[in-house]
């Protein structure tokens, strides 16, 4: 019997605007925490599970989870280290070099990153001798950042932290927040803290997964308990405006299957670039501000599941062994929702030594180093971390040269060339 934990709190209304009557989008049932990797001796029967259901707010257009798991439970011991991805490190460096030039940052400037992880981004400012501070609540990850010389505050960000930092050192020139806003239960409190921290002249640069490709490409596996909100530009614009902030520019990025990079300032501090109005108009034209845009999403996810399981079953029936690449949170969502486990896959490989030797949540698949692909040579590998496909394919060129092939699950299950 599936064990459903009661440790999740249902929201009484929209996280952004408080509206109570939220419309259903997708129900993924009860799932384990996607980043709660298991020790080898753990019992799957006692693993806690929590509701994972998505709804739409017709008042402000925010798509969000119905329930919240306490952040302390999600992030106290976190297995994701950004420096483990060459793509993420290069992505951060390019942004930092650009901002240093555009904002004329120097030794007299101050930069803060919220959810700074292991210092993968702030290290590039430090190399230019620009003072930095990271804010990272995951104790194990913050310790890695400090060990590499990045000063890091081990707390959850909010208005209290912002007031304390401003009282001590004043407002800052640039605040980064990459892939953190989706994790925040109190969106209004978070943005109020951000507004305090940048003052009247600072710049906030935030990156969030974009809802549009999630729906268009059926990227349902990016839905898990850590990601409480799924953002359109419309929902973000309404949320920021209500907190005395203006989105002055927005960029679409390919990373993580499709993301937005937002540039925000205090209300009235700078005019918005045309890109903001253009994306808002596109979303209205597509119907993203209405529930009808999301109604067929669940049926598409079910169809993908049937086709993927059929493909895997045919390969296994043909006598082939199958592994998986990427012990990512999205992989946990996909495997658990489609109920793909040890009967289909032999093991999962991942570059992160923090994940190796543990088990995938819910399905109990062992996680090994990537070298096991060459050691065992399964004919096929299901690409769970598809958002880093180019990087992984390059790293695994020898596996492919020997005849190994990758299976991509989304948006259409199939074999990669």
How do residues 89-109 score in pLDDT, each as one tens digit?
999 999 999 999 999 999 999
Which has more confidence, 42 or 24? 24
pLDDT in tens, 363-380: 999 999 999 999 999 999
Q: How far apart are the first and last CA of the chain?
A: 40
> 238 with 18: CB under 8 angstroms?
no
**7 pLDDT band (50/70/90 cuts)?**
low
Q: What is the pLDDT of residue 78?
A: 72
Q: Which long-range contacts (CB under 8 A, 24 or more apart) does 305-312 make?
A: 305/337, 305/338, 307/412, 307/413, 308/338, 308/340, 308/409, 308/413, 309/338, 309/340, 309/344, 311/407, 311/413, 311/414, 312/340, 312/344, 312/382, 312/407
Give the closest residue to 346 by CA, choosing from 371, 328, 320.
Answer: 320
Which has more confidence, 93 or 70? 93
pLDDT in tens, 294-320: 999 999 999 999 999 999 999 999 999
Q: What is the pLDDT of residue 417?
A: 84
Asked if residue 325 has pLDDT above 90, the reply is yes
My answer on whether omega of the bond before 57 falls inside 30° of 0, hence cis, is no
Domain boundaries, the chain: 8-66, 82-294, 309-415
User: Kind of pairing, strands 348-349 and 322-325?
Assistant: parallel
Asked if residue 6 has pLDDT above 60, the reply is no
Whole-structure pTM value: 0.91
Asked if residue 140 has pLDDT above 80, the reply is yes
Distances (CA, A) of 390 to 335, 381, 395, 397, 398: 22, 15, 9, 11, 14
> 206 with 252: CB under 8 angstroms?
no
Q: What is the pLDDT of residue 79?
A: 73
What strand order describes the sheet that includes 245-253? Answer: 152-153, 132-135, 111-114, 174-178, 203-209, 259-266, 245-253
Distances (CA, A) of 175 to 66, 133, 204, 402: 29, 10, 5, 46
pLDDT in tens, 186-218: 999 999 999 999 999 999 999 999 999 999 999
What strand order describes the sheet that includes 23-31? Answer: 23-31, 50-56, 63-65, 229-230
**76 pLDDT band (50/70/90 cuts)?**
low
User: What is 82-294's CATH number?
Assistant: 3.40.50.150
Tokens of 371: 């070298």
Other beta carbons within 10 angstroms of residue 238's beta carbon come to 19
CATH topology of domain 309-415: Rossmann fold (3.40.50)
Taking the mean position of all CA atoms in its chain, how far away is CA 11? 21
Domain 82-294 and domain 309-415, same fold? Reply is yes
**45 pLDDT band (50/70/90 cuts)?**
confident
Taking the CA atoms of 103, 104, 109 and 110 in sequence, report the sign of the dihedral they define.
positive
Which has more confidence, 387 or 202? 202
Asked if residue 3 has pLDDT above 70, the reply is no
């Amino acid at each position: 019997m599936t064990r459903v934990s009661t440790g999740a709190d249902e929201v009484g209304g929209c996280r952004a605007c408080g509206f109570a009557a939220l419309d259903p989008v997708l129900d993924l049932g009860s799932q384990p925490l996607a980043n709660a990797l298991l020790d080898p001796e753990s019992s799957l029967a006692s693993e806690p599970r929590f509701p994972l259901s998505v709804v739409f707010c017709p008042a402000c257009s925010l798509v969000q989870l119905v329930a919240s798991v306490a952040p302390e439970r999600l992030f106290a011991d976190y297995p994701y280290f950004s420096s483990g991805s060459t793509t993420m490190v290069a992505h951060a460096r390019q942004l930092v070099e650009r901002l240093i030039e555009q904002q004329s940052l120097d030794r007299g400037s101050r930069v803060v990153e919220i959810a700074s992880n292991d210092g993968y981004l702030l290290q590039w400012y430090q190399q230019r001798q620009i003072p930095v501070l990271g804010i990272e609540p995951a104790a194990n990850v913050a310790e890695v950042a400090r060990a590499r010389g990045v000063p890091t505050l081990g707390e959850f960000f909010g208005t209290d932290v912002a007031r304390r930092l401003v009282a001590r050192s004043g407002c800052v020139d640039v605040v980064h927040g990459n892939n953190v806003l989706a994790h925040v239960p109190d969106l209004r409190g978070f943005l109020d803290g951000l507004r305090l921290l940048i003052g009247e002249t600072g710049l906030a640069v935030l990156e969030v997964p974009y809802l549009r490709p999630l729906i268009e490409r059926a990227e349902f596996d990016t839905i898990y308990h850590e990601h409480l909100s799924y953002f359109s530009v419309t929902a973000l614009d309404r949320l920021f405006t209500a907190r005395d902030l203006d989105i002055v520019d927005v960029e679409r990025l390919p990373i993580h299957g499709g993301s937005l990079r937002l540039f925000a300032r205090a209300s009235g501090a700078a005019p918005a670039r045309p890109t903001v109005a253009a994306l808002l108009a596109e979303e209205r034209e597509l119907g993203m501000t209405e529930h009808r845009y999301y109604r067929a999403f669940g049926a598409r996810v079910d169809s993908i599941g049937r086709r993927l399981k059929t493909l895997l079953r045919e390969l296994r029936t043909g006598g082939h062994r199958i592994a998986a690449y990427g012990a990512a949170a999205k992989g946990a969502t996909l495997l658990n929702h489609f109920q793909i486990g040890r009967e289909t896959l032999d093991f999962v490989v991942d570059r992160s030594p923090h994940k190796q030797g543990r088990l995938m949540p819910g399905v109990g698949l062992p996680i090994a180093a990537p070298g096991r692909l060459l050691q065992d040579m399964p004919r096929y590998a299901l690409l769970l971390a598809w958002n880093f496909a180019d990087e992984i394919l390059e790293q695994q060129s020898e596996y492919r040269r020997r005849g190994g092939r990758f299976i991509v699950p989304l948006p259409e299950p199939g074999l990669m060339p």
